[in-house]
Amino acid sequence: MKTISDKDLGIDCDFVARGNTDQEAIEAATAHVRDEHPEEAERALAAMRSKIRNE
Ligand SMILES: [Zn+2]
């Protein structure tokens, strides 16, 4: 399982995006950030790939 947490992206939110692959986790995190934190989206998307965790 791959995860990307909002906290690791510097966003004060408990959401954690999950996926079976890096790409799935990135897609889930991207959708969430765009919908819920549009003011953070540009910075968060740039950092996302380096914030993927293996769980
Ligand atoms: Zn969030």
In three-state secondary structure terms, 54 is strand
**The predicted structure's pLDDT at residue 35:** 98
**The predicted structure's pLDDT at residue 38:** 98
Instruction: State the distance from the centre of ligand 1 to the C-alpha of 54, rounded, in angstroms.
Output: 19
Instruction: State the distance from the centre of ligand 1 to the C-alpha of 23, rounded, in angstroms.
Output: 18
Instruction: State the distance from the centre of ligand 1 to the C-alpha of 25, rounded, in angstroms.
Output: 14
Residue 13 near residue 36 (C-beta atoms within 8 A): yes
Domain boundaries, the chain: 2-54
Instruction: State the distance from the centre of ligand 1 to the C-alpha of 19, rounded, in angstroms.
Output: 16
**The predicted structure's pLDDT at residue 24:** 98
Instruction: State the distance from the centre of ligand 1 to the C-alpha of 41, rounded, in angstroms.
Output: 10
**The predicted structure's pLDDT at residue 44:** 97
pLDDT, one tens digit for every residue, the chain (55 residues): 999 999 999 999 999 999 999 999 999 999 999 999 999 999 999 999 999 999 9
Q: What is the distance between the alpha carbons of residues 1 and 43, in angstroms, rounded to a whole number?
A: 24
